[in-house]
Amino acid sequence: MLKNFRFFFLMIFALFSISAVSAQPVRFKINVDSSVAKEPLAGRLLIFMTNNPKPLEMLAPDFTNPAAVYISGTEITNLEAGKPLEINADELSFPAKFSAAPSGEYQVMALLDVNHSYTYDGAKAGDFYSKVVKVSMPAGETELTLSKVIEDKPLVVPGNVKIIEFESPMLSAFWGRPIKMPATVVLPPDYNKETSQKYPTVFSIHGYGGNHLRGLGGAGKHPEMIYVYLNANNSFGHHVFADSANNGPWGTALVKELIPYLEKQFRMDARASGRFLAGHSSGGWSTLWVMITHPDFFGGTWSTSPDPVDFRSFTGPDLTKYPPQNAYFGDDKKEYNLVRFGGKELMSVRQYAQQERVLGYYGGQFASFEAVFSPKGFDGQPMRIFDRETGRIDQFVAKSWEKYDISRVLRENWTTLGPKLKGKLHIVVGTADTFHLDEAVRLLDAELKKLGSDARIEYLEGRDHFNLYEGGLSDRIAGEMYQVARPNAKAATN
């Protein structure tokens, strides 16, 4: 019996040794071609790996199937041609270590995110990348050479469009360096013919991943109004035009500096009944926030699919509970789903946050929330609302987020805000919103009903985050705005 036990022990040891060998870290040797980089490079090095059999020219994360693409992220400095860097892809990776990938053939590619902006809006001009090469896993060291660079595309600016680069004294003072507030202004076609006419103005805020340049496409066939496409993109992600400890006084600068400047440059109504807010997703949250924090300044907001407007449902977890919930798992120990499409749950909060951690700290969606809502930490960075590995929520940080909970702010200040917001709140969301944002809207809706608000909140049956505007919603919103600004006029469309 002892002999058999020793044989069994030796077999287990041998199997463990084989497993240990097969689980060796996957390493890459990263070089850069001297033809594309004359100076040393630095940034966030991303390595993508997929077993997709279809030949691909570029690799990128797949939010519809997060397990389909392995991603490794490493901060690098001083990468020079002829002096390759050794990268351990297992050190920080998603959805698992590269060495845990099943055996088989894979495609791999490296990309250097030089401006730490990939997490916000993907690869962009100035980023370097390698060719996609095939490897067999498990693999030894694989060499990837950054041999291509993404070129900048020239902007085509129509005649009735003006790109503004306003330097904000408030924001510049906060940061200790010049800070600009870019905007794209789209003027009505007859603006230069009717030189004395003033126009209602729509201030539009893009969603996460966007910027003000979407205004280059024009404003569409809307009533004659001026459209100002604001830019909410900064190094931390989307600053949502809220004053914050980390980003600075973006909301105050908008109302006290940028808009007054624009109203001097262009023939805008320059009164509350002629100023309107419109935004989708993070822009939807932004416009609601700007509206309730400056209720006398604007004539109304039309906010669609806003980011969480009630922190009792922050894409799943209830941030108001004590003791705090976990950001990844509900009380039933099931993971919160974040991304859904076509009735299918595609990506959990945990997967999204952990993938974001690998892609890069700056500019991610959760990092963006933290930059707005969190206090500044001792390291000078925004404090984390939850631990990215475990999902544990920091109660101190959660408490500090309360002052940005739109539902709570309205409830606690309704005596003052209620009369000022009469007829000014409009929210539209799909019942199948891709990120479950309809759930927080329903909580806010119930609160507003208790308060006796006349807020108009609509749920478009079956619509998700990306098809909400199909069927003319944009035209309808524009018409409603024009009716507020010109109640007795017939809306002429551009």
Q: What's the pLDDT at 16?
A: 37
Helix runs in 274-400, H state only: 282-293, 349-359, 365-373, 395-400
Q: Among 371, 338, 331, which Cα is nearest to 352's? A: 338
Phi first, then psi: what are they for 434, rounded to 5°? -55, -30
Question: What's the CATH number for 24-149?
Answer: 2.60.40
AA identity, residue 120 = Y
- pLDDT above 60: residue 491: no
Q: What's the pLDDT at 353?
A: 97
* Residue 412 structure tokens: 């606690």
Q: Which residues of 20-43 are buried (b: 16+ CB within 10 A; e: fewer)?
A: eeeeeebbbebbbeeeebeeebeb
- pLDDT above 90: residue 63: no
Dmax (CA) of the chain: 103
Q: What's the pLDDT at 492?
A: 56
Q: pLDDT band at residue 194, thresholds of 50, 70 and 90?
A: confident
Task: Evaluate the omega torsion of the peptide bond into residue 138 and state whether it is cis, within 30 degrees of 0.
Answer: yes
pLDDT tens for 460-478 read 999 999 999 999 999 999 9
Mean pLDDT in residue range 384-392: 97
Mean pLDDT in residue range 255-259: 98
Q: Average pLDDT over the chain, rounded to whole?
A: 93
- pLDDT above 90: residue 5: no
**Domain spans of the chain?**
24-149, 161-310+405-485, 312-401
Q: What's the pLDDT at 7?
A: 33
Question: What's the CATH number for 161-310+405-485?
Answer: 3.40.50.1820
- pLDDT above 60: residue 1: no
N- to C-terminal Cα distance for the chain? 92
CA distance 171 to 180: 8
CA distance 178 to 135: 47
Q: What's the pLDDT at 11?
A: 36
Task: Evaluate the omega torsion of the peptide bond into residue 95 and state whether it is cis, within 30 degrees of 0.
Answer: yes
Mean pLDDT in residue range 5-20: 36
* Residue 437 structure tokens: 């944002």
pTM, to two decimals: 0.93
- pLDDT above 60: residue 176: yes
SS3 306: coil
pLDDT tens for 266-311 read 999 999 999 999 999 999 999 999 999 999 999 999 999 999 999 9
What whole-number percentage of the chain has pLDDT above 90? 87
